[in-house]
Structure 1
Amino acid sequence: MESISGPTMGSTYSITYLRQTGLPAPAEVRVEVEKILAQVDQQMSTYRSDSAIERFNALPANRCQTMPAPILKLVRVAEQLSEQSEGSYDLTVEPLLNLWGFGPQGRGEKVPSAQALAEVRQRVGYQHLRVESDQLCKDAAVEVDFNSLAAGYAVDTIAARLEAMGIHNYLAEATGELKAAGRKLDGSPWRIALEEPRDDRQVAQRILAVDGYSVSTSGDYRNYFQQDGQRYSHTFDARTGAPVSHTLASVTVIHPSALMADGLSTLLLILGPVRGWDYAEQQDIGAFFVIRADNGFVIRTNQAFERLSGAKAE
């Protein structure tokens, strides 16, 4: 087995693969993987002012900007997720994140005034975005944040590159988003541990055998603040302009696409334990819910998740 790893997107990436005769050496794989990650960062990072999306975010209302194809693809995917969630999921919530103190321009975590919230909500809403040919346009001063999609997109792109290089047995991971295919050296499947959402320590809650699928977990148990006895998470419902207040602590999604797993786990977390569960059932999405209860957590999984958690992709 060969492994490479390094920093990316404020976190890390890691690739483990079964090296067989004729397959590229780790140094060659590293160059290809880091080329993809650098491109994603250059296009989609909200933490660098020279990225394509931050240049777009700096534009005033009623302007367009020519964009790379991956950005236009992600905007289209996000539009579908927004429409299917009745606007709860939304790529343009960055001004809200900043206002509440969670975003890259945040000025301390606090509950904003009603007036400040009303002003910022004028600059939030996926309906203010549109794709025209190779351009992204806005009719309000919205800002796009790809944090719920970019890592998944990167993993899909890396997986496709590995396959093109003849590597068919691998585990590719970036910032926690991952995809596994094929087998390990001993012939066993790749095994993924789901973590119990605890603040004090990491505990494996469920082990998945994955072949040809991506796994994404979204949770609100690490990034939150408390004020006046109320807990405020970094997961926002764009319809209300506020952090979600339900009992769903985390969601894990299994999907053939890391991009879709990434977006869907975020969408389900926003929708919560009732609306999210119903959505997953209607769309046949493999989902693993961890719900807060008085004495800990309650686990709820659907049939699609059980079917996929030990399956091989066709």
Structure 2
Amino acid sequence: MTSRMLQPVRVGFVGAMLALAGLALAGCSFEPEEKVWEISGPVFGTEYHINVVLPDDQARLEALAAGIEGELEKVDASMSTWRADSELSQLNQAEDQSEWMPLSAPLYEVLQQADAISELTGGAFDVTIGPVVNLWGFGPKARPEQVPSEQELARLLAVTGYDKLELRGQPPALRAEKPQYIDLSAIAKGYGVDAVARYLDSEGIQAYLVEIGGEVRVNGRKPGGDAWRLAIEEPTSGVRQVNRIVALENQAMATSGDYRNYYESEGRRFSHTIDPVTGRPIQHNLASVTVIAEDCMSADALATGFNVMGFEQAHALATRENIPAYFIIRTENGFETHQTPAFSSYVTQ
């Protein structure tokens, strides 16, 4: 995590969403002591962009940037499957997981929330699906030369499943009767956003926007009193344009879609989102789903689970649970959008 940048905010498309702080700043003049600054850099194979409302104090900004990098490094060292020395990789490499294996508090927190969302979504969200993700070539291993066979999928599905993990809170630990490979890529990025948000809270930063690879959490308001405005992106490969704009204050938002990370083989397109039930990339017409929650970890995991479920099931569940969710469906006539009642109050245009 190097090459960070400290600068007055310059805002553009970021991942699946567009931070629109710059629109409100254009043409406005604030007191010199109140500016929006951007701290940015590489992380988790993507980039982070963090906007903080602060006076023009370079020493403070440098200290915050170093603290942010420290928080992100701790998350990466705990939850990365791309690092052989991470806490999670060490767990995954254990040949015998039947005895209680100690967990750090952050890793336990993520696994506990992952389990809750797995239960809520009926297994559509499942952190043990990592071996199947790897089999399809979307993990740290090389992409396969051919599509996995039915036999390969059946073999892995028989030994995976979130219900095969057992968690203990005091002291934090995990065990599994048969060794599991855990992949937290659909929740750890959101947790990283939350970790940075908690750090900024501890430093007394009252207004900020934290974004990592499209997952966002905001707090407070921008100079002038406006809420942070974010855009949901049109789910079109190779083109970036706004589909809907929402205004948030003290919330998080995450989007999951099939239009960025995929590959083509034998004339077919394979999404990186794997259905834990079938072991295959999703094939339905739900192009993207956006979820708003109190924390980004939950929004991240829920968006993935809803994306796996497809529109009908996910919309029904989100409506019943009063979860703010926005769905973009691919049709023969273009995109069609739907939102839950809880989402409506956040839409600005």
TMscore range, shorter length: over 0.9
1:72 to 105, 108, 118: 108
1:136 aligns with 2:174: yes
Q: 1:23 to 1:304 in 2, by over 3 A?
A: farther
Residue from 95, 104, 129 that aligns with 2:131: 95
Indicate how the Cα distance of structure 1 residues 193 and 109 shifts in structure 2: closer, same or farther if over 3 A, else same. Answer: farther
Match among 141, 153, 159 for residue 191 of structure 2: 153
What does residue 222 of structure 1 align with?
260
Give 1:227 shift.
4.1
Q: Distance in 1 between matches of 2:85 and 2:106?
A: 17
Q: 8 Å contact 1:23–1:167 — kept in the other structure? A: no
Q: Secondary structure at the match of 2:345?
A: helix
Which amino acid in 2 is paired with 1:92?
A: T
**Alpha-carbon shift at residue 124 of structure 1 (Å):** 1.4
Which residue number in structure 2 is paired with residue 15 of structure 1? 50
More deviation in 219-228 or 278-287? 219-228
Which of 33, 49, 55 is matched with 2:68 structurally?
Answer: 33
User: RMSD between aligned alpha carbons?
Assistant: 1.8
C-alpha distance in 2, partners of 1:225/1:49? 26
CA contact (8 A) 2:125 2:301 kept: no
Report the alpha carbon displacement of residue 21 of structure 1 after superposing the two structures with TM: 8.8
5+ residue gaps in structure 1? none
More displaced, 47-56 or 241-250? 241-250
Q: 1:206 aligns with which of 244, 257, 269?
A: 244
Find the counterpart in structure 1 of residue 122 from structure 2. 86
Q: Distance in 2 between matches of 1:272 and 1:106?
A: 28
Return 5+ residue gaps in structure 2 as ranges. Answer: 1-35
The alpha-carbon distance between structure 1 residues 187 and 286, as it changes in their structure 2 partners (threshold 3 A), is: same
Which of 290, 303, 321 is residue 265 of structure 1 equivalent to?
A: 303
State the AA in 1 paired with 2:256.
Answer: S
Tell me the matched-pair count: 310
Deviation at 1:265, TM superposition (A): 0.7
Whether contact under 8 Å (1:248, 1:291) holds in the other structure is yes
Whole-Å separation in 2 of the counterparts to 1:210 and 1:23: 28
Residues 109 and 302 of structure 1: CA distance in aligned 2, closer, same or farther (over 3 Å): farther
CA distance in 2, matches of 1:119, 1:155: 35
Q: Is the CA contact (8 Å cut-off) linking 1:109 and 1:225 kept in structure 2?
A: no
